[in-house]
Amino acid sequence: MRFLLRRLGFFVLTLWAALTINFAIPRMLPGSPVDALIAKFHGRLTGAPLQAMEAELGFNNHQSMLDQYGLYLKNCATLHFGVSSSQFPASVDSIVGAAIPWTLALVGVTTVLAFLLGTALGAVAAWKRGGKLDSILPPLFVIGTGLPYFWIGIMLIMFFADINPWLPSAFGSDSDVVQGWNGAFIQSVLLHAILPAASLLITSIGGWVLTMRNTMVTTLAEDYIRMARAKGLPSWRIMLDYAARNSILPNVTGFAMSMGFVVSGAVAVEYVFSYPGVGYQMVQAVDNEDFPVMQCLFLVITVAVLVSVLISDIATAILDPRTRSAR
């Protein structure tokens, strides 16, 4: 219980840090969002409309920094993120809200797949240490972790969409199908998700394989494994119940860490595939100097990563009795 409370405290603290960074960065660096907006309207924006815009963006020169900060925190808590400056007067919430489901589905499914596949492969590689799989997989995945996500995406488009026109290379679905719960739309979405998901899978699976393999190699040297062998247990039981079960913990804790990496990768991959998710919107917002949308997207991504960290903490507490008694 105490462990979970500590982690919850950490969650709140990190969230506050992210909020504050988000508040401070635009105010510390030269070139404020308001300047960008004025430049966009070629100086024709003055007087009352300008002040209204500034207030909408949270930049009010007549307020002290502390008041601005208070108002900003209040707006974040009430999910009031203002209006987009590039797609004025669309609200930030509507733009971001439309992007979230796409990323959630893409990143969620690929992360779970990478975790399951990678852990299984790592366990088998460690069990047959020095065997064929173990001599091929780890070096391959060491190189794989160094591959740039977006370039894998480009190469997949090249081979599977341009040279062989088998799969769609851009957007989340075909534009001529009606969005909703109908077969045609779901099929279109799945087809469009194959290549982006594959690019994420190829680069992120290596981490799981290597962590699992390396932990399990250490576990296999433990005395209780020899004991299990001496008892004459079937080897699949030793592998699953004794070795794999005791080695999976770093992978579960690593789940949180890897969420950050996968989300980062997803930003680049979505850009390559013009996939209408959070990452693509973020790059668009940066290109258009649409700071309100950019800030909101950064917060959404951070909250998603923090929540997954919290979930993996809870999972660790359930799986590892030692953490429960830890002070």
Partner 1 sequence: MTNLLKSIRHNGKAVAGLVIMLVFLVMALVPNLIVSGNPATDTKAVSLGMSSKHWLGTTAFGQDIWLQVVHGARPALLIAIISGLLATVLSVLIGVGAAYLGGVWDDALNLFTDVVLVLPTLPLVIVIAGYFSQHSISVMIVVLVVTGWSYGARQLRSQALSLRNRDFLEAARVRGERSSYIIIFELLPNMTSLIVANFLGAALYSLLTASTLEFIGLGDTSSYDWGTMLYWAENNSALQTGAYVWAAAPGLCIALLAAGFALLNNAFDEISNPALRPVRRLRVATS
- For residue 83, list its beta bridge partners: 91
- Please provide residue 91's backbone torsions phi and psi, each rounded to the nearest 5 degrees: -80, 150
> Which residues in 120-149 contact partner 1 (CB under 8 A)?
129-130, 139, 142-143, 145-149
Q: Does residue number 302 form part of the binding site for partner 1 (CB under 8 A)?
A: yes
Q: Which residues make Cβ contacts (< 8 Å) with residue 322, sequence separation at least 6?
A: none
Cβ proximity to partner 1: between 115 and 149 the closer is 149
Residues 6+ away with beta carbon under 8 Å from 122: 208, 209, 210, 211, 212, 213, 216, 251
Rounded least distance, CB 123 to partner 1, Å: 16
Give min distance, CB of 297 to partner 1, in A.
7
Using CB under 8 A as the criterion, what x/- string covers residues 260-289 for binding partner 1? x--xxx-xx--xx------x--xx-xxx-x
* Size of the residue set binding partner 1 (CB under 8 A): 62
Q: Pick between residue 154 and residue 185 the one whose CB is nearest to partner 1.
A: 154
Shortest Cβ distance from residue 208 to partner 1 (Å)?
Answer: 15
Cβ distance to partner 1 smaller for residue 165 or 183? 165
Beta carbon of residue 93, minimum distance to partner 1 (angstroms, whole number): 18
Taking the complex as a whole, the smallest distance from the CB of residue 324 to partner 1 amounts, in Å, to 20
Long-range contacts made by residues 93-99, C-beta under 8 angstroms, separation at least 24? 93/296, 95/281, 95/293, 96/278, 96/281, 96/293, 96/296, 96/297, 96/300, 98/276, 99/276, 99/277, 99/278, 99/280, 99/281, 99/297
CA distance 54 to 85: 11
- By rule CB under 8 A, what string of x and - marks binding of each residue 190-229 to partner 1? ------------------------x--xx--x--------
Give the residue, chosen from 19, 125, 193, 306, that forms a contact with partner 1 under the rule CB under 8 A: 306
In terms of Cα–Cα distance, which of 304, 252, 261, 269 is closest to 115?
Answer: 252
Locate all alpha helices (DSSP H) within the chain, ordered by sequence. Answer: 2-28, 33-40, 47-57, 65-77, 92-127, 132-145, 149-157, 183-220, 223-231, 235-237, 245-247, 249-272, 278-287, 291-319, 321-325
Binding mask of the shown chain, residues 40 to 79, with x at each position contacting partner 1 by CB under 8 A: ----------------------------------------
**Cα–Cα distances in angstroms (integers) from residue 258 to residues 85, 206, 228, in the given order:** 33, 11, 33
Q: Which DSSP category does 179 fall into? A: P
Smallest gap from residue 142 Cβ to partner 1 (A): 5
State which amino acid sits at residue 131. Answer: G
Q: Which of 22, 63, 87, 246 binds partner 1 (CB under 8 A)?
A: 22
Q: Which stretch binds partner 1 (CB under 8 A): 73-81, 111-119, 158-166, 181-189?
A: 158-166
Q: Are 211 and 250 in contact (CB under 8 A)?
A: yes
Binding site for partner 1 (CB under 8 A): 10, 13-14, 17-18, 21-22, 25-26, 29-31, 129-130, 139, 142-143, 145-151, 154-155, 157-158, 162-163, 169, 214, 217-218, 221, 256-257, 260, 263-265, 267-268, 271-272, 279, 282-283, 285-287, 289, 291, 294-295, 297-298, 301-302, 305-306, 309
